[in-house]
Structure 1
Amino acid sequence: MTSRALSRFLWLALALACGAPAFATPPNVVMIISDDQAFGDFSFMGHRHIRTPNLDRLSVQSLTFRRGYVPSSLCSPSLASILTGLYPHQHKVTSNDPPLPAGKVGLAAHQDPGYRAAREEMIANFDRCPSLPKALGTKGYQSFQAGKWWGGNYRHGGFTAGMTQGDPDRGGRHGDEGLKIGRQGMTEVFEFIDQAKSQKDPFFLWYAPMMPHSPHTPPARLLAKYQASAPTLEIAKYWAMCEWFDETCGQLLDHLDEQGLAKDTMVLFLADNGWIQNPDADRFAPRSKQSPNEGGIRTPIMIRWSGHIEPRVSEQPVLSIDLAPTILAAVGLQPPSEMQGLNLLDNDAVDRRKAIFGEIFTHNAVDIRDPASSLRNRWAIEGDWKLILPAPQNTPDTTAELYDLAHDPGETTNLATRHPEKVEHLKTLLNTWWPATSNRL
């Protein structure tokens, strides 16, 4: 028996022992993560101007959840949840940055020894948490990090290779060299795929370019295309960035086709958080990034695996923390018990789930060891009802918000005073899920 055949035999035996679905060969896994893009800013989601032909094609080939959500609408905690399958209050990466040192901002803060030590402690959380690269590594997967990454060197996430070095003196805050991917070509990603193929190893690719993320610097050809229809220059730039990102996704998907890998690869897509473009500045508008509103937390989620997943559209609410258990089940691994997400390929489990939950934190943590200290809001969705419950320690002048998303998708009418019983019901669900009490170590 060859080593390759032996590996397949052992993999099948492990899958059967775990009670997981057994496939002849575990799939390669490609994770595509958009950076700061609203859930409706794709042509397949109904945008009247933005063109995303490559992601449109992927949506037709995928199990597409139109009501996907991330638990937290800020880059670092959201990406950490995708990679670990844990909520931010579990992995403790609740914020983009540590608390600011007294009297210091900007470069002075980043050079402060205490601030740097706190950053290192935040990064160390990845070493303590389960992660997709670590789990897949037990089955012989090569893994590659390309794009946004807040966890220091790529090895902290369990990747076997990557672009981000994590040196704070060389732009190591959220990606350094990794931020070149997409904007400056796809060479590193293609080289990784080709190497894994040549070595006949299964692979996991984290493709999370800083696109369409600010700074919005699209190619002139795309900017000119959208200036004719956009109401302002800033909106035209953002729309053009969305199409530029789509082009890079097309290059990646085409490369899988050209290498004969598409049928053996599970492709997953989502955005890390939403974005509503400020019409007059290169920044986001309210009720999007960092907010608990639909413009901040909602994203389409797509899963393609030809021959194994039937393409269809679902309106069932799902979460980004569901992706890790889905991937692990597909390769025959049992998800760790701390993962609260579902296998999205288990239709019955998805249908049985009654509610989903999330949490919004301050941009800079208040106490990196106590998630509740940085909490701004918790949110819950049950069917079409959505509750946003503020945390008094960081949002003292706000009250609970209740929305009927079926009739008010823009969240314009707060129904909390009209339906106090619904508020109390959803609040009870939230407190059962996470009571948001201090858990400082």
Structure 2
Amino acid sequence: MKNIISIIVVLFLFSSCKKDDKKVEVPKKPNILFILVDDLGYADLSIMGSKYYETPNIDKIAKTGTVFTDGYAACTVCSPSRASLMTGQYPARHGITQFEGKRNSGQAWKERKRYTKLLPPEYKDHLDTSTTTLAEAFKEEGYATFFAGKWHLGGKKQGSLPTDHGFDVNIGGYDAGGPNGGYFSPYKNPFLPNLPEEKGLNLSMKLAQETSNFITKNKDGHFLAYLSFYAVHGGIQTTKEKWTKYRNKAEKMGIHEDGFEMERVLPARKYQDNPVYAGLIEHVDEAIGTVMKTLTDLKLDKNTIVVFTSDNGGVTSGDNFSTNQLTLRGGKGYQWEGGTRIPYFIDVPWMKQTGASISVPVSGVDLFPTLLDLSGLPLKPEAHKDGVSLKPLLLGENIDKRPLYWHYPHYGNQGGEPSSIIRKGKWKLIYYWENLNAELYNLEVDLGERNDVSASNPEIAKQMETQLLDWLKSMDTHYAEVDAEWDKAAREKWLERQRTKSLAGQERQRKKMLSPNWQPNKDWWGSEVKINSIK
């Protein structure tokens, strides 16, 4: 907590440099660079308190722009929150409440043998083309639109590629949720051709180069460039050089004997000490640096709004058990702050923000209307029904107080439980669908969500629960149902395996990765292939 607070204090010290935009010439139809990192946690950046990860290029965006300290993804997993970024709508409204996949609901979920009490509901598996997207809104205004990287909102068979939703160009985006083929060329991606001279090139850098090429081609017009990294999604990979750097750094900081502890369902990483994950983050940071340099070299940096964010919290459990969110509880897939609170930066060059910090709770649904408003374009309230423009906040003004909502009626691969959430000011209520009970947290004094105060604040808890359930009814959304054949004993046996075999297995893997002679394979996932030239 001290690390995050100290960063916020520094940001506030810089905020006094902010100027009234009335004294600054506002560009007509500014360019947009939207940077989305997959599975990047709130504390996975040095600017947000990490002492282990190194992210100077991303930090610079925060230092020159505005940091929303209470910025949230619209869901605790990827596809729903990505759809919300595109539409300005909550998952409960657009219907994509779980990540794209065929085995996440009903009988198919039961066949996975997790032995859960509830059977998750069906949900939309792709973005509906009847919904106006961020890209379509800017394309209507004459913008060239570009998408690079992870899409995960449908594919060719569903008629739901990026080019079906307003993007002129699609590099690497389809229905896959992870980097098929790994993070080094040759990539197994039907929308990302492999060039012989790029063999061994890191995927994040490849996507950045394609983004820079698009920006260069459209430097004399207006553009929306949406750079959506596959990183830092598992399976995580890096080079031997970066692994060595961060392995040595972990040793210098002090390697703990035990690196995991049990959450309610799965083991969770206790520390930021994963050298492969740290290297993967640095790959992303370097890639972002090349795009930002392109803007500067082309003299577009003063006319380009930059957004930087993530689609959900960092992975503390499940997947590759990659990171820890310091004082926040949980991570991706979880109902606690670590699952939804994310880096959320907006840099509007002509506003001279220079590191301003805003603590008003905001959501990914707000970015669609905010970017329209900042660009001087008409809002589309019939499309972005749940988002509001944050422009007043960026100008030092206020927006109307409002609750934020989440609805995730599924079991997360990372240990999250079917739940719905409302946040109002300092209060956060989590409603659990297994037992129809609620937890209440005061985030002002308990950011780690360790002290459920629903019993000592019954009126607040009841009022918030009622408001949440009424809102869900208005969304006409779907809910999990009780499995009439639920085997409680089988569930307890499954949980016991997680507490014993899974926990021990993660500890062994961590120690191997931190040992001085560790090597994942002969060529470090293909990264040691010599690159003759990069175009």
TM-score, length-scaled by structure 1: 0.79
For the structure 1 residues 103 and 84, does the alpha-carbon distance in structure 2 shift closer, same or farther, using more than 3 Å as the test? Answer: closer
Does 2:88 align with 1:85? yes
Mapping 1:25-424, distance limit 5 Å = 25-100=28-103, 122-123=125-126, 125-151=127-153, 152=155, 153-164=161-172, 166=174, 177=191, 181-184=203-206, 186-197=208-219, 200-230=220-250, 231=255, 235-278=274-317, 281-282=320-321, 287-308=330-351, 310-311=353-354, 312-331=356-375, 332-338=377-383, 339-347=385-393, 350-362=398-410, 376-390=418-432, 392=433, 396-397=434-435, 399-424=437-462
Q: CA deviation at 1:417?
A: 1.7
Determine helix, strand or coil for the equivalent of 2:407.
strand
Q: How many residues align?
A: 390
1:239 shift after superposition: 2.2
How far apart are 1:157 and its partner, in Å?
2.2
Taking structure 1 as reference, are residues 401 and 328 closer, same or farther at Cα in structure 2, changes over 3 Å only?
same
- Secondary structure of residue in 2 paired with 1:213: coil
Do the aligned partners of 2:44 and 2:50 also contact (CA within 8 Å) in 1? Answer: yes
User: 1:235 deviation in Å?
Assistant: 1.7
Correspondence for 1:115 = none
| 2:532 corresponding residue in structure 1 | none
Hey, what's the Cα distance between the residues in 2 that align with 1:423 and 1:142? 48
| Inter-partner Cα distance in structure 1 for 2:233 and 2:283 | 11
Cα distance in structure 2, aligned partners of 1:40 and 1:433: 31
User: In the superposition, relative to structure 1, how do residues 52 and 167 fare at CA in structure 2: closer, same or farther (>3 Å)?
Assistant: closer
Which 10-residue stretch deviates more, 421-430 or 202-211? Answer: 421-430
Unpaired runs of at least 5, structure 2 = 1-24, 110-121, 156-160, 182-187, 194-201, 260-271, 479-535
Counterparts of 1:171 and 1:237 in 2: how far apart (Å)? Answer: 18
1:247 Cα deviation after fit: 1.5
**In 2, are the aligned partners of 1:65 and 1:318 still within 8 Å (CA)?**
yes
* Pair 1:167–1:99, CA change in 2 (3 A): closer
Q: Which moved more, 1:354-363 or 1:229-238?
A: 229-238
Q: CA deviation at 1:437?
A: 6.9
CA shift at 1:328, angstroms? Answer: 1.1
Distance in 2 (CA, whole Å) between partners of 1:350 and 1:178 is 43
Match of 1:430 in 2: 468
Q: C-alpha displacement at 1:432, in angstroms?
A: 4.1
- Structure possessing the higher radius of gyration over alpha carbons: 2
Structure 2 distance, partners of 1:387, 1:217, is 37
Q: Distance in 2 between matches of 1:46 and 1:234?
A: 14
2:114 paired residue number: none
Kindly provide the amino acid, as one letter, of the partner of residue 133 in structure 2: S
Residue 28 of structure 1: how far off its partner (Å)? 0.6
Retained in 2: the 8 A contact 1:80–1:93?
yes
Q: What's the CA shift for 1:234?
A: 7.0
Deviation at 1:171, TM superposition (A): 6.6
Deviation at 1:236, TM superposition (A): 2.0
**Cα distance in structure 1, aligned partners of 2:273 and 2:476:** 42
CA drift of 1:59 comes to: 0.7
Aligned residue identity for 2:428: K
Q: Distance in 2 between matches of 1:313 and 1:34?
A: 21
In 2, the alpha carbon distance for the partners of 1:167 and 1:377 equals 26
Contact 2:100–2:152 (Cα < 8 Å) also in 1? no
Residues 114-158 of structure 1 deviation map (CA, whole Å, 9 limit, x = unaligned) = xxxx99x733x3311110110111111111111110232221221
- Check conservation: 2:152, 2:173, Cα contact below 8 A: no
SS at match of 1:253: helix
Contact persistence 2:316–2:323 (CA under 8 A) = yes
1:305 and 1:413 map into 2 onto residues whose CA distance is 38
Write the distance in 2 (CA, Å) between the matches of 1:163 and 1:433. Answer: 38
Q: Secondary structure at the match of 2:408?
A: strand
In structure 1, list runs of 5 or more residues that go unmatched. Answer: 1-21, 106-117, 365-374
Taking the aligned partners of 1:279 and 1:76, their CA distance within structure 2 comes to: 17
How many angstroms apart in 2 are the aligned matches of 1:138 and 1:192?
A: 19
Instruction: Return 337-346 or 282-291, whichever deviates more.
Output: 282-291
